[in-house]
Amino acid sequence: MSLMSREKVPILVVDDQPEGVMALEATLAPLGHPIVVARSGREALRHLLNQDFAVVLLDVVMPEMDGFETAQLIREREKSRHTPIVFLTALSQGEVPEFRAYAVGAVDYLLKPFEPDILRSKVSIFVDLFRKTELVRRQAEALRDALQREHERERAELHQRLEAERLRGREEALRKELEAGRHHQRWLEALLSELPTPLALLEPGTGRTLFANRAAQGLAEGCLVYEEARRLRPDIVLTGGDRLPLPEESLPAARAVRGEVLAGVRVEWRLGEQQGAALAYSSRLPPMHGRPETALLALFDVATLTK
């Protein structure tokens, strides 16, 4: 069992009724995760400012600020924009405004009294997604840090050798050093190709995809990282987490080359009978190996949750 799979993940319960809170705590207790309770929408927003949660279980009917208003404010904040929200309501089936629930960013809703096993199953899925999202974020940070350290080491060594060769006038040795750098770049790209996480390197000025590993090429037939792939498959449908179509300039790759730092931005795709979803992360890599500054785009295939 990995360290990530053993980590406890907090769950936020928002309900102004003590009996509702007690029922949720008793239902979720077997999962063993810490439960943070908010008695109002404003208290929930304060908690979300200070820590991350796997899911928010949000009661619809509350005084002052109801569940819909609370969910809308959660979605307006950058820190909690992608936190899953599950509405819990005692309203009857015909009284639940489904369109409004999904419009403010809910991923699901349950009618009270809910089936405990169903609620635990749904919460477990969001906990698993939270863990895997955090794992991808840590992997992307570790890769960026490793590349940065390697670049700084190579730059320092190369500077020392260039200075020594300049003093001795050995231009041929300099040419060989640069050629060795190109060989190292090819070695690094071969290494990245074997990683299971879809990765792509993008050129900020042009938006051109400089490199994509096998996992990125296979995800949605490469349409998330290659503009050429999208032109070859005009039937590809790309939408955001709100299920609205994404124009080219709003795709994760386009946002990454503009310098945006993505942290779990959801993109969904449909291609014929195939469909899926991914979470996008991005960062900037400094100039290295003769290349200018490069955008790193990492994609987490949400379909792996079911595997």
97 with 158, same domain: the answer is no
Query: Which tokens is 173 given?
Result: 């040795």
How many other C-beta atoms can be found within 10 angstroms of the C-beta atom of residue 34?
A: 11
Q: Are strands 209-212 and 11-14 parallel, antiparallel or unpaired?
A: unpaired
SS3 at position 88: strand
Q: Are strands 209-212 and 237-240 parallel, antiparallel or unpaired?
A: unpaired
110 with 141, same domain: the answer is no
Distance in angstroms (rounded) separating the CA atoms of residues 117 and 127? 15
Q: Would you say residue 129 lies in a domain? A: no
Give the containing element (helix H, strand E) for 239: strand 237-240
Q: Would you say residue 128 lies in a domain? A: no
Domain that holds residue 28: 3-114
Per-residue pLDDT reduced to its tens digit, 86-107: 988 876 555 556 656 666 767 7
Query: How many domains are contained in the chain?
Result: 2
**pLDDT for the residue 263:** 86
Burial class of residue 243 in the structure, from the number of CB atoms within 10 Å of its CB (0-12 exposed, 13-18 middle, 19+ buried): exposed
The rounded mean pLDDT for the chain is 82
Average pLDDT over residues 32-48: 93
Specify the CATH number for the domain of residue 276: 3.30.450.20
Global pTM?
0.52
Best-predicted range by mean pLDDT among 10-19, 95-104, 142-151? 10-19
Q: Would you say residue 254 lies in a domain? A: yes
Give the containing element (helix H, strand E) for 36: strand 35-38
Specify the CATH number for the domain of residue 17: 3.40.50.2300
To 10 degrees, the CA torsion angle through 236, 242, 247, 253? -80
Q: Would you say residue 123 lies in a domain? A: no
Contact 74, 80 (CB under 8 A): yes
154 with 298, same domain: the answer is yes
pLDDT score of 62 more than 80: yes
148 with 219, same domain: the answer is yes
156 with 68, same domain: the answer is no
272 with 149, same domain: the answer is yes
63 with 175, same domain: the answer is no
- Position of tokens 């008695």? 39
101 with 211, same domain: the answer is no
